[in-house]
Each structure stands twice: as C-alpha cells, then as structure tokens.
C-alpha cells in the first residue's frame, strides 16, 4: 500500500518540512514502505504568487469594486472593503508585471547582499499579499500571520464553515486544481502534518475534498499542533467524519504500525500512540513502548523540489536533539511536545548525517530546528567542520549559556555558524528567576558582544508582561536592547501569552494570576487563556507598552522587515556591513 505524506499551507517556504521527511525516511529505511511526498505549502506559494493568478483575480477584484461603486449607500464593512479593492486595483499593473521576477529574486543570493535591496523586495511581497487578500476579503494574507480568516481557528463550528466557503477560502480552488494529481498517486493512506494554527483550516479543507473524492481513503494527521491538546482529545470529535487517526507525538513507530495493520487487514483501531474515533468519540491508545525512534534514520528529502524553495541557497532542516536540555522554563509549551526523555545526538553523528545530506542533495546550509541546540554539541560540531575544512554553514536556536565564551564563538564561526537565536526573555534577574530560566544577566552582554566580534549574527526573542513583571522591569529589557543595538542583528517580541498546561497555567497562585475561562465560551480549541494579575503588567497597560516600545526608532530598526526569519543569516547587519 502506498502512503502519501502532505505538508499543507500556509507557512513560509524557505526550506522543506522536516516532519514528513523524517517519517518518510523511517518508513522507507526501516519499514521498506512505498512513500510519496507533496509539499503543498510550497506549491501554494507558487500558485498564489504568479502573474497568471494575479490577472485572474483582477477580474474578481474589479467586478466587486464596480458593484460597490454603483451601490447607493455602503455600510462600514462595505466601505472598508471598497477601499481595499481600490488600493489593489491601483497596484494591479505594477504587481502583475513584476511578481514573477520578484519571486525569482527571493532565490537569488545577490538579493541578500544589500539590506535596501532585500527590504524593497519584502515590501513588494507584502503588497502582493494585500492584492491577493483583496480578492478574498475579509480573509487576509500577511508575512506575520499568513492567512487569517474571519473564522476562528479556536472554534470547531467556525472551522467547519470555513472549509466550505469558496469565496473567502482560496485553498478550495487551489486544491481542486491539485486533486487529480493527488488521486493519481493512488495512495491508500494519506498523512498530513499540521504544525501550526495557520495550517489547520487549509489542511481540513484538503481533507474534506479528498474524502469527498474517495470515501474509503484513510486520513491520518499529526504534528506539533496536536500536542497542545494532550488528554483533551474530545475537542476533535467534530472532525471525526474527516479524520481517521491522529498521531499526536513522535510519529515514526505508530505510523509504521498503522500501515502494517491496514496492509494485513488487522485491527487498526488499537495502534498504540494513536487517537482513533469510536462512533465519533476520540480515544487515545496509550503507547506501550516509550523508546524514541529519534535518530534511527536519516531524513529523506528525495521527493522535495529543493531548488524551488524561496531562499538564497538550498537549506535543509535538521534536529540535533529531541526535547530541550533545560526544559524548566515555566512559560514554555515545548515540554508538551514529546512524551520521551531528552535525547541528544553526538557531534560526530550529526556531522556524519549532514555529510550524507550534502552528498545526496548538494546542500551546504543547515537549520538546526531544535528547541535549544546544546552548546557543547555546537562547539564540537564546529571544531570538526573546521578541522575537516568542510563547506557547511548552519544556524539554530539556543540558550544564553556561559559556555558561549569569546573563544568558543570564534571557533563556532570558523566551523560554519552563521547565526544564533537566543531565548532572551528579560534582562532582569528577578524576572528570569521567576521564569526558572536560570540565566545570569551579567553574561548576556558579553555573549552578544562576542558573537558580533566572531561574525555570528544574534537574534534575540523575548516577551513583556510575564506575571509579576513591572513596567520598570519591562523597560529595563527594552533599554538593554537599545543600548546594545550594534551587537544585535534582529529582535522579535510581543506580550506574554498564557498557554494551557504550562507550569504557569498549572500553578496560578505561585504567579499571582487568576485564570479566566478562555477568551470565549465556544472556543473549544482555545489554548491561550486570559487572566488577571495581582501585580505587574497585564491587559491594556501591557498592550499599550508593547505598542509604544515597538514604535521606538532603534526597536523598529532591529525588528527587520523580513519575508522569512530564515533569511536573516544571509543578510548584512546594517547598511555599513554591506
């Protein structure tokens, strides 16, 4: 039986998805199964961002604009829509004539040599997304949020409406064009990876069309999105007519066992590590074997069109570890992602793997997509790359650890490190201790200075408004960023969000918060909770501070105008560095 693995829209399309590449590698190498792959996320970018599509939707935009122009009176919704349509029409010729060449420019390394050139391209892509949005109003498409529908991704009743709305959901027509190609693959089982909220409506839209076209087709979904609902699987009962199985944790072993059961006409409703639906009711079958399959196989990228991804060079994602070596931050949901203990590959194994990937796909650049790359592994890997004079470059996320000395960072840059993304969170030790970050703020300025000296770009991620954090403490963090602007490549921040089942959520009294019952009573898929706080920043005061600080000139400069964060390693820090 053939299995088809699909990565649905809509996230950025800079590199292929690691999840289905990992599953494909395991099924082929361990299970000897026939597997095909489709990256519909990448294909959707090319579907929406081309001159033919822009000409096609011009008619839709123009007809609706003319309809509103002859209407005697317009309500506020119609006035807003008319303004957006008018702007789209005014930019139509410019966009139609330049979209194809600008999409190609995203893959040209010369685009990334000058910030001004890259920013112009990003601005163009933003304008292109607004043009597409005008044709499906009030749905919007943006770099930051991808496709946002008026239907909430936290309400199952609205999701079921969205997957049927051909006027506002552009993926219906996109999939109809792809349906014949998908069915021609003659797969008996289709696996769909959903990692982000932005993929939920597009994924379920596809599933509905597949089920309508082939009623006996089995659909299994998985991905990190589902780990947020551990022990609360009944929220997916409304989707029981669409989804046959959910694999919420590591998928390799359950997926292979499921295929074997289907092939052998065995009972497939009792596969450990899966969620099945019994008369519309979700039921999780507990894992018997907690041993992880992590690292058993090389990810298989053989079915991905690597030359088409929207980056200056071919980039492959790779995981050096499973879980997080710290895993104590009280705000973090990453601890929910896997039931297995932390597992780490040795530098020698990582190097052997990326050598193999280089040999197979002629790829020299790697994105380590770990929760936190271990500093000891990073240094050892860099040493080996340097000693063996290998042509590799890499970047990834990590923690601000004292091991990142000037000497270590110099060695890491010589060994291919382009950029490190740090979970910064705060410069105030009281706040860091409350988060259980265990970061000493004294070492932070030295690390980012030494990164700059070594030629490693830094990306600092943080948030304001952790429970009990005061306005003065939040401003100390912002002031620190401004004082060290010359050493920092990029920042990203927003307000603190309370996520279900995190330590803060589970211990509200310890953090002086009172949790409200979600944002709305019908948000059955809600995972972000509203709260009140006895002391510190929250609510309107926090939102106001975020808005005020993001308008500061230095902060605006550091929040670079990027089409994808994965482009950052290839951009100069400033105009003077070009």
Token code pair at residue 27: 């099924």
Q: What percent of the chain has pLDDT over 90?
A: 87
At residue 295 the predicted structure's pLDDT band, cuts being 50, 70 and 90, is confident
Query: What is the C-alpha separation between 176 and 44, in angstroms, rounded?
Result: 12
Residues β-bridged to residue 494: 463
Which residues are CB-contacts of 390 (< 8 A; sequence separation ≥ 6)? 351, 355, 384, 416
According to the model, what pLDDT value does residue 534 have?
86
| Per-residue confidence (pLDDT) for residue 573, from 0 to 100 | 79
H helices of 185-287, in order, are 200-213, 252-263
pLDDT band for position 500 (cuts 50, 70, 90): confident
Give exposure, 308-327, as e/b (b: 16+ Cβ within 10 Å).
bbbbbebbbbbbbbbbbbbe
To the nearest 10 degrees (0 to 180), the angle between helices 76-105 and 115-135 is 140
Q: Give the mean model confidence (pLDDT) for residues 537-546.
A: 94
Count other C-beta atoms under 10 Å from residue 277's C-beta: 20
pLDDT, tens digit, 9 for 90 and up, residues 40-78: 999 999 999 999 999 999 999 999 999 999 999 999 999
Whether the per-residue pLDDT at 340 is higher than 80: the answer is: no
Give the side-chain half-sphere CA count within 13 A for 150. Answer: 10
Query: Looking at the predicted structure, is the pLDDT value of residue 462 above 80?
Result: yes
pLDDT value at 306 more than 60: yes
Query: Residue 109 is inside which H or E element, if any?
Result: none
CA-closest candidate to residue 385, choices 401, 366, 404: 366
H helix intervals, 225-312: 252-263
Q: Which residues pair with 193 in a beta bridge?
A: 222
pLDDT grade for 338, boundaries at 50, 70 and 90: low
Give residue 520's pLDDT.
63
Cα 563 from Cα 167, distance rounded (Å): 27
* Nearest alpha carbon to residue 89 among 69, 55, 61: 61
Ramachandran area for residue 105 (φ above 0: left; ψ -120 to 50: alpha; else beta): alpha
pLDDT at 182 over 90: yes
Nearest to 486 by CA among 449, 460, 442, 441: 449
pLDDT for 267 equals 83
The predicted-structure confidence for 90-141, as pLDDT tens digits, reads as follows 999 999 999 999 999 999 999 999 999 999 999 999 999 999 999 999 999 9
Q: What is the three-class DSSP state of 518?
A: coil
Q: State yes or no: cis peptide before 10, omega within 30 of 0.
A: yes
pLDDT of residue 519: 56
> How much is the pLDDT for 447?
97
Residues 6+ apart with CB under 8 A from 109: 312, 313, 570
State the pLDDT at residue 577: 57
pLDDT tens readout for residues 400-415: 999 999 999 999 999 9
Q: Is 552 exposed, middle or buried (0-12, 13-18, 19+ CB in 10 A)?
A: middle
Q: What is the pLDDT of residues 551-576, one digit of tens each?
A: 999 999 999 889 999 999 999 977 65
**What residues does 220 pair with on adjacent strands?**
191, 245
What is the chain's Cα-based Rg? 24
Report the alpha-carbon distance of residue 111 to residue 126 in Å, rounded.
16
Q: Does 289 have pLDDT greater than 90?
A: no
Burial of 482 (0-12, 13-18, 19+ CB in 10 A): middle
- The mean predicted confidence, pLDDT, of the chain is 94
What's the rounded Cα separation, in Å, for the pair 209 and 163? 9
Q: What is the DSSP letter of 456?
A: -
Residue 287 DSSP SS3:
coil
Residues 6 or more apart from 188 whose CB is under 8 A from it? 1, 2, 3, 217, 218, 262
């Amino acid at each position: 039986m053939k299995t088809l693995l699909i990565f649905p829209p809509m996230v950025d399309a800079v590199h292929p998805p690691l999840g289905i590449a990992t599953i494909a590698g395991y099924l082929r190498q361990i299970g000897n199964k026939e597997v095909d792959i489709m990256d519909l996320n990448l294909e959707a970018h090319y579907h929406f961002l081309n001159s033919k599509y822009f000409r096609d939707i011009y008619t839709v935009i123009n007809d609706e604009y003319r309809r509103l122009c002859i209407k005697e009176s317009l309500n506020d919704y119609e006035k807003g829509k008319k303004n957006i349509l008018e702007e789209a029409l005014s930019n139509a010729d410019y966009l139609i004539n330049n979209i194809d060449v600008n999409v190609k420019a995203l893959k040209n390394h010369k685009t990334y040599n000058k910030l001004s050139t890259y920013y112009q391209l990003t601005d163009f892509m933003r304008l292109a997304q607004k043009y597409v949005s005008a044709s499906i109003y009030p749905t919007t498409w943006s770099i930051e949020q991808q496709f946002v529908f008026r239907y909430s991704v936290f309400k199952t009743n609205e999701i079921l409406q969205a997957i049927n709305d051909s006027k506002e959901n552009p993926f219906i027509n996109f999939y109809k064009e792809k349906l014949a190609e998908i069915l021609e693959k003659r797969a008996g089982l289709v696996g769909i990876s959903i990692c982000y909220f932005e993929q939920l409506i597009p994924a379920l839209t596809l599933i509905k069309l597949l089920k309508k076209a082939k009623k006996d087709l089995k659909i299994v979904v998985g991905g990190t999105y589902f780990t947020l609902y551990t022990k609360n699987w009944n929220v997916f009962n409304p989707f029981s007519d669409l989804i046959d199985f959910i694999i919420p944790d590591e998928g390799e072993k359950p997926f292979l066992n499921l295929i074997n059961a289907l092939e052998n006409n065995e009972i497939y409703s009792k596969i450990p590590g899966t969620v099945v639906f019994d008369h519309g009711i979700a039921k999780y079958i507990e894992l018997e074997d907690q041993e992880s399959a992590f690292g058993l196989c090389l990810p298989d990228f053989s079915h991905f069109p690597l030359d088409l991804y929207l980056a200056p060079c071919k980039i492959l994602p790779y995981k050096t570890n499973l879980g997080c070596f710290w895993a104590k931050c009280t705000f973090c949901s990453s601890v929910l992602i896997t039931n297995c203990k932390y597992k780490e590959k040795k530098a020698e194994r990582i190097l052997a793997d990326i050598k193999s990937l280089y040999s197979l796909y002629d790829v020299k650049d790697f994105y380590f997509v770990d929760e936190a790359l271990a500093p000891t592994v990073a240094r050892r890997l860099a040493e080996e790359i340097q000693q063996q004079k290998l042509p590799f470059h890499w970047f990834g996320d990590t923690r601000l650890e004292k091991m990142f000395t000037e000497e270590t960072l110099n060695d890491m840059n010589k060994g291919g490190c382009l950029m490190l993304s740090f979970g910064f969170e705060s410069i105030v030790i009281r706040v860091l201790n409350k988060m259980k970050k265990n970061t000493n703020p004294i070492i932070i300025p030295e690390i980012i200075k030494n990164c700059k000296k070594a030629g490693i770009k830094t990306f600092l991620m943080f948030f304001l408004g952790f429970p009990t954090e005061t306005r003065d403490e939040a401003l100390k963090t912002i002031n620190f960023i401004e004082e060290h602007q010359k050493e920092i490549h990029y920042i990203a921040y927003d307000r603190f969000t309370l996520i279900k089942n995190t330590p803060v959520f589970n211990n509200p009294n310890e953090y002086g918060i009172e949790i409200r019952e979600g944002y709305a009573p019908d948000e059955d898929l809600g995972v972000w909770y509203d709260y009140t706080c006895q002391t510190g920043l929250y609510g309107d005061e926090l939102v106001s501070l975020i808005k005020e600080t993001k308008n500061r000139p230095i902060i605006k400069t550091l929040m670079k105008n990027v089409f994808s964060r994965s482009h950052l390693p290839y951009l100069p820090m400033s105009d003077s560095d070009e």
